[in-house]
Amino acid sequence: MKYSKFMEGFDEGIFEKLNNKKIELEKNGKKIYDLFVGTPDFKPEENILKEISNKALNPDLIKYSLQDIEPLKERFIKHYKDRFNVTLSKDEIMTVNGTQDGMCHVGMLFADPGDYCLLPNPGYVAFEACAKFARCKIEYYPLLEENDFMPRLDLIDPEILKKTKFVIISYPSNPTGGVITKERYEEIIDLAIKYDFVIINDNAYSDIVFDDFKSFSFLSLPNAKKVGCEFYSLSKSYNTTGSRISFFLGDKEVIEQFKKLRSQYDFGMYYPIQYGAIEAMNVSPLIIEKQRKEYEERRNVFCDGMKKIGFDVKVSKGTMFVFVKIPNKYKDSISFSTDLLEKTGVLCTPGIAFGSLGDRYVRFALVKPKEELLNIIEIIKNSNII
């Protein structure tokens, strides 16, 4: 068979290659310590599981889910108001089957083939997929450690900004663990107004922030809804990653356009999952805070431990990830992560997976208890890899 040139833009990716290496080592009896993918090790609350299970037994709910149910929209509006003090109407929200699915398609709302978009480097892999699906030309804005991994779009060539149709911003940041200030975001909103581009904000990790940082919704800022839209996920906060519960928020017209696009490839979020989402948002904020504190303690243990054994670590301010500089003796992140896996069984993500500016880093996911993280650090120390 012959395949399209479009497919040439995708390969099996570093994630699949390393996962295959992991499987190979496990078959040969190697103990693997998986800090690779950001899948929470915490369990979802039982009421969420029961609600999904009970609703899945109702034959009337095992049909095409062509709309978001009214109780879900009402509960989400309350949730966003309580959580971020953002007022939304029912026609300003819609579900998507995971932010990654929504992100990969949303670029087609705002750009035609050959148009330009701005993406973070390093940044999550789905952002580049968004541009490829829209057949966009990509310009990257750097996320540098000396800038606390915050964007400086004011330093981008104005000629590039004039050509830009949309910009993707994501904070707290995967993979860097950085956060963004309201002031910096307001500067970007001003640029969006001046140069007439759209801001697409990914708000996936807002409940996992550290050191008294207060996360916020992009839509809470002045003029934000005029120039942008936002994805919000329940996956990480409520440990429901496989359920693919995410929302797309924005001006009524933007939502109408995305619903039109989505109707061409999807029949909507499975009804039992919609009911499960309601139950998730009914989980006590105290439980979410307890989990956040546990992530912060893991962050402290891991960053302190890695520093003590000789690694250069930028202490993350949010997300479940830590971005660690590789030792100078390694030429790139793939050679280091491969060597680390073979010598210690510790599996992390090479920073090159997130862009060229990530190639002197690797990403570790804080998805193990503190005691196990301490054990992993001791294993790395004894490997003499540093």
Judge whether 340 and 380 are in contact, CB under 8 Å: yes
Task: State which amino acid sits at residue 111.
Answer: A
The DSSP result for 109-125, as a single string, is HH--TT-EEEEEES--H
Q: How many CA atoms lie within 13 A of 146 on its CB side?
A: 2
Please name the amino acid found at residue 184.
Answer: R
Task: Show the domains of the chain with their CATH numbers.
Answer: 5-43+286-382 (3.90.1150.10), 46-281 (3.40.640.10)
E strands, the chain, in order: 33-34, 93-97, 116-121, 137-142, 164-170, 198-203, 228-233, 245-249, 321-325, 346-347, 349-350, 361-365
**Per-residue pLDDT in tens (0 to 9) along the chain, 386 residues:** 888 888 877 776 677 777 888 888 888 888 999 998 888 999 999 999 999 999 999 999 999 999 999 999 999 999 999 999 999 999 999 999 999 999 999 999 999 999 999 999 999 989 999 999 999 999 999 999 999 999 999 889 999 999 999 999 999 999 999 999 999 999 999 999 999 999 999 999 999 999 999 999 999 999 999 999 999 999 999 999 989 999 999 999 999 999 999 999 999 999 999 999 999 999 999 999 999 999 999 999 999 999 999 999 999 999 999 999 999 999 999 999 999 999 999 999 999 999 999 999 999 999 999 999 999 999 999 998 88
pLDDT, residue 22, reads 84
Q: pLDDT, tens digit, for every residue of 26-72?
A: 888 889 999 988 889 999 999 999 999 999 999 999 999 999 999 99
Task: Tell me the torsion sign for CA atoms 341, 174, 271, 260.
Answer: negative
Task: Read off the pLDDT of residues 101-116 as tens digits, 9 standing for 90 and up.
Answer: 999 999 999 999 999 9
